[in-house]
């Protein structure tokens, strides 16, 4: 079956403008009507270090970054050598023949472009990236007028001479490719176009938009990679809607400010990454005890300590679920793609407001900068939940009154008769400090009782594959896309594999997980951390025996890492995981022909 997607990777070094032309290409391809998904990696250095931007374009939704390339654009010899192992017969390599000498590439189509010579002839060697972009536009039928429009938008606030130089470099690359390169590959963009109205967002932008749609009117954070751009986004848009944005002096202050704003009646949010989440834990405990709704977004990165600020990992689940001391009710959600970043942020606010608890939404470094086309939200269909408010007409008010569902009305400061103390101390129904054994038991049960119906009321979870399967894969967060693509490949060769993608991770959705486990013979949990954190939580709270695929290299897992490396599939449809058959225990190598094989 002919593929309908095209994957382009641009590679080079920090300071060469890899991300710049990648983003221009991304916006242009989306503008002409295709679904796009991008993946990018870069180091913490301002100049130097490996940089990569990858774009997948398709008329169909794109589940993951994939595990192969069609086109590699190498802006440097280092960019070529770092990525040459991704090139297979039929791939295209665009490179500068003055600094790159491709060798040993059987079946790879070579397009040498004198990028540096052309850019120097224009008076500025830094324009090399735009020369490459022009060549890409000509070779793969990307409309020049669309790219030119995107360049004008990007450089509209720069010196006019800079805009003119970039447009000249783009045109020069286009002309050279048209006159000097004989096209030998079959690749063309655009393909068939999508027909619905869409937005092009990255994960951090989608979180900001989701928060605004949910009614967030207060945001505070301390800048920390890879969450910083959420604050940048809010600073551009929230003040115009009557909201407030405060850059705090540290993550502790940002969490405290968020609690104060929510106490005052506003929907409030803060964002951070792993090191900041560590510092916020006492404030999160305060919010849980005082029953003040807040939303915390944790854009995970490589840890521990300062770790790798720009690298990908899913290793904060334990910290999110168990970080605070004491018995603390909270909700932990995980976004799987850019669409999730938008809509799960809305749900995070709804849950915080309804249950009056802290809600932590987990994203990650890959998702934060991943650009993806998302259908434009239909605003009338978005459900918004607000907190239960105290009615001043009532004769008395007890903020922490024990109710049938544990949820008590909140008063707004200044509301007549609604005065109360919001405290992290254990307290009575009125908010006064209270330390009796019976009182602590009652208040603990009240706080946890709010979440008794959570799994019935809110269970965002997707399942795909047969109703009964030999292997069931559980995946959370942004690994979902690669798992989804791997499962599709299993199904294409007749393998009996199903998958479950939970979005609610704490409290653990025990019933849903046990139902899924009962329909498969082996449960494999795929996640990007060393400890197998979700797998450990599942084993602790259920009767499910799990097996794990853990990656912790700092880059996202690919479909091939799952489909090709960890499983064996035989022509009779039997599925093996790490050498153990999933049905009757027969070991690897005993029967049948191998279709997909472990290393």
CATH code of residue 223: 3.40.50.970
Is residue 59 located within the same domain as residue 171? yes
Spatial neighbors of 473 by CB under 8 A, at least 6 apart, are 483, 486, 487, 497, 498, 499, 500, 523, 524, 525, 526, 562
Q: Residue 566: pLDDT band by 50, 70, 90 thresholds?
A: low
Is residue 432 located within the same domain as residue 470? no
- Across the range 225-246, mean pLDDT stands at 97
Question: Would you say residue 189 lies in a domain?
Answer: no
Residue that is last in its domain, among 458, 474, 491 = 458
Inform me whether the pLDDT recorded for 192 exceeds 80: no
Are 227 and 297 in contact by the 8 Å Cβ rule? The answer is yes
CATH number, position 131: 3.40.920.10
Q: Residue 230: pLDDT band by 50, 70, 90 thresholds?
A: very high
Is residue 370 located within the same domain as residue 517? no
Inform me whether the pLDDT recorded for 594 exceeds 80: no
Looking at residue 62, what is its pLDDT? 86
- Across the range 205-213, mean pLDDT stands at 98
Percent of the chain with pLDDT over 90: 78
Percent of the chain with pLDDT over 70: 92
The number of distinct structural domains making up the chain is: 4
Residue 11: phi and psi, rounded to 5, are: -135, 145
Looking at residue 247, what is its pLDDT? 98
Inform me whether the pLDDT recorded for 570 exceeds 70: no
Question: Would you say residue 236 lies in a domain?
Answer: yes
- Across the range 453-475, mean pLDDT stands at 91
Q: Residue 567: pLDDT band by 50, 70, 90 thresholds?
A: low
Nearest to 525 by CA among 566, 577, 592, 472: 472
Q: Do you know the residue count of the chain?
A: 599
CA distances to 316, 443, 444 from 438, rounded to whole Å, are: 35, 9, 10
What 3-state class would DSSP assign to 150?
helix
Residue that is last in its domain, among 359, 381, 403 = 381
Question: Would you say residue 186 lies in a domain?
Answer: no
Nearest to 357 by CA among 216, 264, 259, 271: 259
Report residue 144 as tokens.
């020049």
Are 485 and 366 in contact by the 8 Å Cβ rule? The answer is no
Q: Residue 65: pLDDT band by 50, 70, 90 thresholds?
A: confident
Is residue 276 located within the same domain as residue 420? no
- Across the range 243-252, mean pLDDT stands at 98
What 3-state class would DSSP assign to 522?
strand
Residue 337: phi and psi, rounded to 5, are: -155, -175
Q: Residue 573: pLDDT band by 50, 70, 90 thresholds?
A: low
Q: What is the pLDDT of residues 337-347, one digit of tens each?
A: 999 999 999 99
Inform me whether the pLDDT recorded for 585 exceeds 60: no
Is residue 30 located within the same domain as residue 43? yes
Residue 375 domain boundaries: 200-381
Inform me whether the pLDDT recorded for 482 exceeds 90: yes
Looking at residue 378, what is its pLDDT? 94
Inform me whether the pLDDT recorded for 484 exceeds 80: yes
Question: Would you say residue 295 lies in a domain?
Answer: yes
Nearest to 296 by CA among 364, 337, 243, 348: 348
Looking at residue 593, what is its pLDDT? 39
CA distances to 144, 246, 273, 274, 533 from 363, rounded to whole Å, are: 35, 22, 9, 11, 15
Question: Would you say residue 191 lies in a domain?
Answer: no
Q: What is the pLDDT of residues 416-436, one digit of tens each?
A: 999 999 999 999 999 999 999
As a whole number of angstroms, the longest Cα–Cα distance in the chain is 86
Is residue 491 located within the same domain as residue 588? yes
- Across the range 482-486, mean pLDDT stands at 93
Q: What is the pLDDT of residues 284-333, one digit of tens each?
A: 999 999 999 999 999 999 999 999 998 999 999 999 999 999 999 999 99
CA distance 342 to 360: 14
- pTM to 2 decimal places: 0.92
Are 478 and 501 in contact by the 8 Å Cβ rule? The answer is no
Question: Would you say residue 412 lies in a domain?
Answer: yes
Looking at residue 127, what is its pLDDT? 96
Question: Would you say residue 79 lies in a domain?
Answer: yes
- Across the range 20-43, mean pLDDT stands at 92
Is residue 547 located within the same domain as residue 404? no
What 3-state class would DSSP assign to 15?
coil
Is residue 99 located within the same domain as residue 154? yes
Q: Residue 581: pLDDT band by 50, 70, 90 thresholds?
A: very low
Is residue 275 located within the same domain as residue 307? yes
């Amino acid at each position: 079956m002919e593929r309908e997607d095209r994957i382009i990777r641009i590679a080079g070094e920090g300071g060469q403008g890899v991300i710049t032309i990648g983003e221009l290409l991304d916006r242009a391809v989306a503008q002409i009507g295709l679904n796009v998904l991008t993946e990018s990696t870069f180091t913490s250095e301002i100049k130097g270090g490996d940089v990569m931007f990858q774009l997948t374009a398709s008329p169909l939704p794109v589940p993951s970054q994939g595990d192969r390339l069609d086109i590699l654009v190498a802006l440097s010899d280092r960019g070529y050598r770092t990525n040459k192992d991704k090139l297979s017969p039929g791939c295209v390599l665009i490179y500068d023949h003055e600094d790159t000498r491709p060798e040993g590439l059987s079946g790879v189509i070579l397009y040498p472009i004198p990028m540096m010579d052309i850019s120097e002839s224009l008076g500025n060697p830094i324009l090399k990236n735009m020369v490459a972009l022009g060549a890409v536009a000509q070779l793969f039928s990307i409309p020049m007028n669309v790219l030119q429009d995107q360049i004008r938008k990007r450089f509209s606030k720069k010196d006019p001479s800079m805009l003119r130089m970039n447009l000249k470099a783009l045109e020069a690359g286009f002309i050279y490719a048209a006159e000097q390169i004989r096209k030998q590959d079959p690749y063309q963009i655009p393909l068939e176009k999508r027909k619905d109205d869409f937005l092009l967002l990255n994960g951090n932008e989608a979180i900001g938009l989701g928060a605004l749609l949910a009614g967030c009117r207060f945001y505070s954070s301390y800048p920390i990679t890879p969450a910083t751009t959420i604050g940048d986004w809010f600073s551009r848009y929230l003040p115009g809607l009557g909201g407030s944005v405060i850059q705090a002096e540290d993550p502790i202050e940002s969490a405290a400010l968020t609690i104060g704003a929510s106490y005052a009646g506003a929907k409030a949010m803060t964002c951070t990454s792993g090191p900041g989440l560590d510092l916020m834990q006492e404030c999160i405990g305060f919010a849980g005890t005082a029953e003040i709704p807040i939303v915390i977004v944790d854009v995970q990165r490589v840890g521990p300590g300062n770790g790798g600020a720009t690298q990908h990992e899913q290793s904060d689940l334990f910290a999110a679920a168990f970080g605070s001391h004491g018995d603390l009710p909270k909700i932990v959600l995980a976004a799987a793609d850019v669409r999730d970043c938008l809509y799960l942020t809305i749900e995070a606010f709804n849950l915080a407001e309804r249950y009056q608890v802290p809600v932590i939404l987990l994203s990650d470094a890959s998702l934060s900068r991943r650009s993806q086309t998302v259908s434009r939200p239909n605003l009338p269909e978005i459900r918004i939940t607000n907190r239960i408010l105290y009615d001043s007409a009532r004769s008395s008010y007890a903020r922490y009154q024990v109710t049938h569902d544990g949820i008590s009305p909140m008063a707004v400061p200044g509301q007549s008769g609604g005065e109360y103390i919001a405290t992290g101390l254990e307290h009575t129904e009125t908010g006064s400090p209270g330390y009796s054994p019976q009182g602590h038991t009652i208040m603990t049960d009240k706080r946890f009782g709010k979440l008794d119906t959570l799994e019935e009321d809110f269970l965002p979870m997707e399942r795909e594959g047969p109703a009964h399967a030999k292997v069931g894969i559980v995946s959370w967060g942004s690994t979902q896309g690669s798992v989804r693509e791997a499962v599709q490949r299993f199904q294409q060769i007749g393998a009996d594999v199903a998958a479950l993608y939970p979005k609610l991770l704490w409290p653990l959705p025990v019933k849903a997980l046990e139902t899924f486990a009962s329909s498969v013979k082996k449960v494999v949990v795929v996640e990007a951390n060393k400890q197998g954190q979700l797998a450990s939580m599942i084993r602790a709270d259920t009767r499910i025996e799990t097996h794990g695929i853990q990656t912790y290299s700092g880059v996202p897992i690919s479909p091939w890492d799952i489909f090709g490396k960890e499983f064996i599939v035989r022509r009779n449809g039997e599925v093996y995981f790490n050498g153990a058959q999933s049905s009757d225990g027969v070991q690897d190598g005993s029967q049948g022909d191998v279709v997909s094989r472990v290393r």
